[in-house]
A = this chain, B = another copy of it.
């Protein structure tokens, strides 16, 4: 293997309605590119960043911290240089920081000769993700590295289950160019929920997982509801209800907030419906006057990869 590889680090959608803090999926059409280079000098250096204004200091950079986490487990007498070419906008709610963390650990693992499994890489990537979000969580880095749908069952120890996507699932993502601060999207959540709502939520999560395994698109659709987080957060996103209703009325299986927002996603069965849904979501957003872009993507079952 060459000492330099180029990596595609896909965008991801976390939460998926009923799966708050545990579910995620990997996108195909949108992602960052990174170049990882094995060099004689020890340690990790971020040598170049394009597409975003991010710190070059290794310890302050998501990719740098994730890279150190994996490198420090080895006794290497060499180091790595990292170039980051951002395509996923920071703060869009589709896993921008996770992509950087995932790409760094994936690329270094490749150049080390793959000492770690993809599941193990999730653990390292979480360390980087924590730089951006303030806490270690895996709901974006897991689907970014593993591809498909992922369930984070629990954290002590990290237990991630990958679920292959039913082949016809497409995601539509509308990204409004506004900032929703993570602190705001956390602050609107009540620290307690009613037991009744919690039961509704876990019934739906069970249905979602069952629907994914049995490739039952209608069950997936019936399960894509969120009675806890979406009602509290949707007011932070202009026209959320209008966009979601447009998606559902035009055949989407479900729709919700991507990650902590502001992006709104819809899942659809088949590309034709996804195109119709994307058009309806676009129409439902224009009257806000807010700039936005829309992505249509199949679920990416491979995850982060060498290109």
A143 to chain B, nearest CB (A): 14
Cβ of A202 within 8 Å of any chain B Cβ, yes or no, is yes
Q: How many residues of A contact B (CB 8 A)?
A: 40
CA distance A159 to B200 in the complex (A): 12
Interface positions, chain A 171-201, Cβ under 8 Å from B, are 189-196, 198-201
Distance in Å: Cβ of A247 to nearest Cβ of chain B? 21
Partner among B19, B151, B204, B213 whose Cβ is within 8 Å of the Cβ of A207: B151
Q: Which residues of B contact A52 (CB under 8 A)?
A: none
Chain B residues lying within 8 Å of A223, measured Cβ to Cβ, are: 153
Contact call B161/A210, Cβ cutoff below 8 A: yes
Chain A residues packing against B (C-beta within 8 Å): 18-23, 151-154, 159, 161, 163, 189-196, 198-210, 213-214, 219, 222-223, 228
Residues of B within 8 A of A193 (CB): 192-195, 198
Asked if A195 and B192 sit within 8 Å, CB to CB, the answer is: yes
Question: How many subunits of this chain does the assembly comprise?
Answer: 2
Return A13 CB to nearest CB of chain B, in Å.
16
When distances are taken between beta carbons in the complex, the residues of chain B under 8 Å from A194 are: 191-193
Q: A23-B206, A153-B210, A192-B194 are in contact. List 16 more A-B contacts (CB 8 A).
A: A153-B204, A153-B207, A153-B222, A153-B223, A154-B203, A154-B207, A154-B222, A161-B206, A163-B210, A192-B192, A195-B228, A198-B201, A198-B202, A205-B206, A206-B206, A210-B213
A161: chain B residues within 8 A (beta carbon): 206-207, 210, 219
